[in-house]
Chain A
């Protein structure tokens, strides 16, 4: 019996491996949860990339190296960073695009959702409505403090402000400066139950905005003190009481939703749909009202009846969602109209209008030309146009269409899109051949990459996946086959090892005992007087029995020993075995080999050897033969072993059932070999075992082998009908 070697060492190795693995995981977790991982951070807007930012609402786009949100949506957010950032500051240059909202920065943000204040964190921004620097905390609700901005004229749109927001422990400070007013306006709070960590973000409220130079630094207590000195200086100068508010916010004040009504409405406006019925023969001027649905690369305005394209308008900076009044020359088209030489006035700043959900077939009719729609489709192709815009080719039902995206923020999403994915897209439906090139009925102009949603990836039964599955299945089958054969080989080796052990045991105990008993009986016989005939006869009988038993034991030992198979081929091993059995007798052993010798798998070789041993033993014990012939023939995929003697032969009825023949047949069955005995009384016996050998499979031989297998299978099926009744198939 064998014992595992050095079990303690293995246990130690296992323990240390586990320990190192656990330590590695802990270190990885500590790294991922580090409050300063990825700091300092500086945006790469100028480089045209922003893959790490995630938008929640708004129409965030990179334009000329600036991050821009053109919508007036309340609470549009763009977030990045680690949720474990703790003490740090974020600063950026900010420009407001509207006159009725605010824009700024978020710090320690978590649990973000799309919505006005649907996040947990702190926000600071500059607000045009009341000229305030505002600082507050959002937790799916809003609470704020604010401070007037001292510059004459207050907070104005289209002017750059530098905003800084710092969080150190539970103290939050915000400061704003401009180029003209370098002295910061600072506001700070102390929030004992503060949000302790989170991401940074950009946010706007009821106004579009532009951001640049976003920088995030780890913050120290000295940084906080430095910012608060600005607060104290202001407090001294303004005779304010204190700069840090101990969580005594000014109270919950909702954002202003006051809308600036624009005076001077034109009473003679008409619906956008009616523009298509204006005369094409005479120049016609018209005035319409609608909501801006796209500002770049061109201006589209939509009302409840349709959309209109306005090339090169005279207009103030516009944002998606602005309600505008457009006056210009009408050029009616088939499906929508164009207003040239148009003047655009902003009536109200509103949030972007929702898309109309239509099918590709409906959009293909042109009825939604120049309107903001939502369409689903399957991605069939994607490419970059020469002007670097991103083009998606989509199919839905019998229709195909294209979607055009601006490069920049969409680059990363574009590169990740997989063909055959199911997408939902929101954009301006355009049927103008300048966009469609008459290749598809319509194209969608996407405002930002938030207008593209992947509903489902490509189906798993794609060609590549099917090939991968087939290859993986084949590899798995090969591995299983290999493991199965290895296990079978190990089992056989264990059996052979056990047999060898039994042989040694028998040799050391049984055979030695028989030999000793024989010697003792001989010694007794030698001492007995010759006249004691009866006892002498009994002793002779006992001595013969012991000798016979000794020979049987030797024979059994010979058959149990597998060394011969390991060092010799079957024929040599059987020859050796037969010569041991007939040692001292008159039987002549003849060995013959035919065909090209080739390796035989151990399992088949062992079975052939055992059957051969039994046949040789039968011939030696019972056949009274004078010549014992052992033949081994090799053919293409077969090994045929024949044991033939010229002895007395077998009676057909009884002989074929005894003498270990059942055992031989059973062994032959175990390797699916043909087992055949030919014997007639007085004419000797021939035992034949034909075993299949595994073919040698190479790249060039497998088709031939496969064809041969099929032929043999067919022939075997046919020949089995006419099989000789004397043939005993294993």
Chain B
């Protein structure tokens, strides 16, 4: 009997071992899942300029207290749409619990974002909208670009005292927000400042040398130009460089958007102001929206944040400094200095 029992045990041993392994794996997987932090992917338009680091700061500020892991990656250029699409698809494949996206292109990102939504990933589009209606897992935290256009028009009116010529550079249909800015600027100017004439409109790109060339052509074509409204950061840089290299045009003022420099007014005397979208607040609120969504709470479909006018006068105010990048002390690792 003992021999039989022993023999039966010997025969059962591999099966028992297999069952034990399965149980251990199940327990391990369960415990891993229960302690796994929420992972949110944040994909700005680009990592190539420092402007978007404020978004990183904002997301980390909201994510760190909640123990949320932030995956941060972006194309090296704003016009590398395929790279951004690949990143969004990778986020879907890796089952992230949330996606924060500043789209590089209004149309091309429709299908990747729809795929993310189809996988049940709460998604927040920041900055500029996509032509997908909000609702369900899709929310928008947008820059109020109409207000940005109005701010630019008001600033131009102040600069030109209600009369003068303006060039509108950097019109880019790829970014819906830029088009909204341009139209708002034109309409507000036409309605309220009939003495201001837009004498030049030019398509913009994310190529700064090209933008500089466009600005130089504009300056040559309009010797009496009073101001340039540059609707994108590359256009702003291009216009300022063009003015630097064109002698005798110190009177031309530049009203820029989304300046990426920490001290933009130091060496650029032509720069009058910069109208900034608050990407830091966008990052904070986007992470909070996703967390609320993951908790099953209802979230607003669309939030619009007001842009801020940066001038030489308010550049060093605490409110403005708070919007600028970047706070490198934030992060997921809880270390401290040893010196």
How many angstroms between the C-alpha atoms of A440 and B115 in the bound complex? 12
Q: Which residues of A contact B296 (CB under 8 A)?
A: none
Asked whether, in the complex, the Cβ of B89 is within 8 Å of the Cβ of A398, the reply is yes
Segment touching A, from B22-30, B168-176, B243-251: B168-176
How many angstroms between the C-alpha atoms of A335 and B179 in the bound complex? 10
Q: Which residues of B contact A279 (CB under 8 A)?
A: 186, 190, 198, 201
Interface size in chain A (residues, C-beta < 8 A): 24
Per-residue interface assignment for chain B, residues 77 to 107, with 1 indicating a CB less than 8 Å from any chain A CB and 0 otherwise: 0000110011001000000000000000111
How many angstroms between the C-alpha atoms of A44 and B198 in the bound complex? 59
Asked if B203 is at the interface (CB within 8 A of a chain A CB), the reply is yes
Asked if A607 is at the interface (CB within 8 A of a chain B CB), the reply is no
Asked if B308 is at the interface (CB within 8 A of a chain A CB), the reply is no
Asked whether, in the complex, the Cβ of B111 is within 8 Å of the Cβ of A334, the reply is no
Partner of B133, one of A335, A436, A438: A438
Asked if A433 is at the interface (CB within 8 A of a chain B CB), the reply is yes
Segment touching B, from A83-91, A361-369, A413-421: A361-369
Asked whether, in the complex, the Cβ of B190 is within 8 Å of the Cβ of A281, the reply is yes
Asked whether, in the complex, the Cβ of B179 is within 8 Å of the Cβ of A398, the reply is no
Asked if B108 is at the interface (CB within 8 A of a chain A CB), the reply is yes
How many angstroms between the C-alpha atoms of A440 and B130 in the bound complex? 12
Asked whether, in the complex, the Cβ of B110 is within 8 Å of the Cβ of A438, the reply is yes
Asked whether, in the complex, the Cβ of A366 is within 8 Å of the Cβ of B111, the reply is no
How many angstroms between the C-alpha atoms of A441 and B187 in the bound complex? 28
Q: Which residues of A contact B198 (CB under 8 A)?
A: 279
Which of chain A's residues has its CB closest to B130's CB? Answer: A438
How many angstroms between the C-alpha atoms of A363 and B16 in the bound complex? 59
Cβ of A717 to closest chain B Cβ, rounded Å: 13
A contact patch SS:
loop
Asked whether, in the complex, the Cβ of A440 is within 8 Å of the Cβ of B110, the reply is yes
Q: Which residues of B contact A433 (CB under 8 A)?
A: 131
Q: Which residues of B contact A696 (CB under 8 A)?
A: none
How many angstroms between the C-alpha atoms of A361 and B81 in the bound complex? 9
Given A281-B189, A282-B190, A361-B82, A441-B173 contact (CB < 8 Å): no
Given A277-B171, A277-B201, A366-B174, A398-B186 contact (CB < 8 Å): no
Asked whether, in the complex, the Cβ of B203 is within 8 Å of the Cβ of A277, the reply is yes
Interface size in chain B (residues, C-beta < 8 A): 32
How many angstroms between the C-alpha atoms of A431 and B81 in the bound complex? 17
Per-residue interface assignment for chain B, residues 176 to 214, with 1 indicating a CB less than 8 Å from any chain A CB and 0 otherwise: 100100110011011100000010011100000000000
**Residues of A278-297 whose CB lies within 8 A of B:** 278-282
Q: Which residues of A contact B85 (CB under 8 A)?
A: 361, 398
How many angstroms between the C-alpha atoms of A398 and B86 in the bound complex? 8
Asked if A399 is at the interface (CB within 8 A of a chain B CB), the reply is yes
Which of chain B's residues has its CB closest to A431's CB? Answer: B107
**Residues of A530-563 whose CB lies within 8 A of B:** none
How many angstroms between the C-alpha atoms of A399 and B89 in the bound complex? 11
Asked if B112 is at the interface (CB within 8 A of a chain A CB), the reply is yes
Q: Which residues of B contact A119 (CB under 8 A)?
A: none
Asked if A400 is at the interface (CB within 8 A of a chain B CB), the reply is yes
Cβ of A521 to closest chain B Cβ, rounded Å: 68
Query: Which of B110, B112, B174 has most chain A Cβ within 10 Å?
Result: B110
How many angstroms between the C-alpha atoms of A282 and B196 in the bound complex? 13
How many angstroms between the C-alpha atoms of A399 and B107 in the bound complex? 10
Given A277-B171, A277-B202, A398-B112, A442-B107 contact (CB < 8 Å): yes
Asked if B132 is at the interface (CB within 8 A of a chain A CB), the reply is yes
Asked whether, in the complex, the Cβ of A366 is within 8 Å of the Cβ of B131, the reply is no
Asked whether, in the complex, the Cβ of A399 is within 8 Å of the Cβ of B111, the reply is yes
Q: Which residues of A contact B176 (CB under 8 A)?
A: 334
Q: Which residues of B contact A442 (CB under 8 A)?
A: 107
Asked if A357 is at the interface (CB within 8 A of a chain B CB), the reply is no
**Residues of A245-295 whose CB lies within 8 A of B:** 276-282
How many angstroms between the C-alpha atoms of A364 and B85 in the bound complex? 12
Which of chain B's residues has its CB closest to A334's CB? Answer: B173
Per-residue interface assignment for chain A, residues 398 to 442, with 1 indicating a CB less than 8 Å from any chain B CB and 0 otherwise: 111000000000000000000000000000000101001011111
Q: Which residues of A contact B107 (CB under 8 A)?
A: 364-366, 431, 441-442
Asked whether, in the complex, the Cβ of B133 is within 8 Å of the Cβ of A399, the reply is no
Which of chain A's residues has its CB closest to B86's CB? Answer: A398
Partner of A280, one of B111, B114, B183: B183
Given A398-B85, A438-B131, A438-B132, A280-B187 contact (CB < 8 Å): yes
Asked whether, in the complex, the Cβ of A281 is within 8 Å of the Cβ of B111, the reply is no
Query: Which of A277, A334, A436, A440 has most chain B Cβ within 10 Å?
Result: A334
How many angstroms between the C-alpha atoms of A433 and B187 in the bound complex? 24
Asked whether, in the complex, the Cβ of B108 is within 8 Å of the Cβ of A441, the reply is yes
How many angstroms between the C-alpha atoms of A334 and B133 in the bound complex? 18
Which of chain A's residues has its CB closest to B107's CB? Answer: A441
How many angstroms between the C-alpha atoms of A278 and B202 in the bound complex? 10
How many angstroms between the C-alpha atoms of A398 and B108 in the bound complex? 9
How many angstroms between the C-alpha atoms of A366 and B105 in the bound complex? 9
How many angstroms between the C-alpha atoms of A282 and B111 in the bound complex? 35
Q: Which residues of B contact A335 (CB under 8 A)?
A: 173
How many angstroms between the C-alpha atoms of A431 and B110 in the bound complex? 12
Which of chain B's residues has its CB closest to A336's CB? Answer: B173
Per-residue interface assignment for chain B, residues 120 to 151, with 1 indicating a CB less than 8 Å from any chain A CB and 0 otherwise: 00000000000111000000000000000000
Q: Which residues of A contact B114 (CB under 8 A)?
A: 439
Q: Which residues of A contact B202 (CB under 8 A)?
A: 277
How many angstroms between the C-alpha atoms of A399 and B112 in the bound complex? 8
Asked whether, in the complex, the Cβ of B111 is within 8 Å of the Cβ of A276, the reply is no
Which of chain B's residues has its CB closest to A437's CB? Answer: B131
How many angstroms between the C-alpha atoms of A365 and B106 in the bound complex? 8
How many angstroms between the C-alpha atoms of A696 and B82 in the bound complex? 61
Asked whether, in the complex, the Cβ of A440 is within 8 Å of the Cβ of B132, the reply is no
Q: Which residues of B contact A277 (CB under 8 A)?
A: 171, 201-203
Which of chain B's residues has its CB closest to A273's CB? Answer: B203
Cβ of B115 to closest chain A Cβ, rounded Å: 9
Which of chain A's residues has its CB closest to B11's CB? Answer: A718
Query: Which of B82, B173, B174, B179 has most chain A Cβ within 10 Å?
Result: B173
Q: Which residues of A contact B108 (CB under 8 A)?
A: 361, 364-365, 399, 441
How many angstroms between the C-alpha atoms of A280 and B182 in the bound complex? 9
Cβ of B157 to closest chain A Cβ, rounded Å: 15
Asked whether, in the complex, the Cβ of A441 is within 8 Å of the Cβ of B111, the reply is yes
Q: Which residues of A contact B201 (CB under 8 A)?
A: 277-279
**Residues of A431-487 whose CB lies within 8 A of B:** 431, 433, 436, 438-442
Asked whether, in the complex, the Cβ of A365 is within 8 Å of the Cβ of B186, the reply is no
Cβ of B168 to closest chain A Cβ, rounded Å: 9
How many angstroms between the C-alpha atoms of A399 and B189 in the bound complex? 39
Which of chain A's residues has its CB closest to B174's CB? Answer: A365
Q: Which residues of A contact B190 (CB under 8 A)?
A: 279, 281-282
How many angstroms between the C-alpha atoms of A278 and B131 in the bound complex? 23
Q: Which residues of B contact A276 (CB under 8 A)?
A: 171, 173, 203
How many angstroms between the C-alpha atoms of A335 and B176 in the bound complex? 10
Asked whether, in the complex, the Cβ of B173 is within 8 Å of the Cβ of A400, the reply is no
Which of chain A's residues has its CB closest to B185's CB? Answer: A281
8 A–B contacts from the bound complex (CB under 8 Å): A277-B171, A281-B190, A334-B176, A364-B108, A366-B107, A398-B85, A431-B107, A440-B111
Known: A279-B190, A361-B81. 8 other contacts (CB 8 A): A278-B201, A279-B186, A279-B198, A280-B186, A281-B183, A366-B173, A433-B131, A440-B111
Q: Enumerate the 4 nearest inter-chain pairs by beta-carbon distance, A residue then B residue, closest first.
A: A281-B190, A441-B107, A277-B201, A281-B186
Interface residues of B (CB under 8 A from A): 81-82, 85-86, 89, 105-108, 110-112, 114, 131-133, 171, 173-174, 176, 179, 182-183, 186-187, 189-191, 198, 201-203
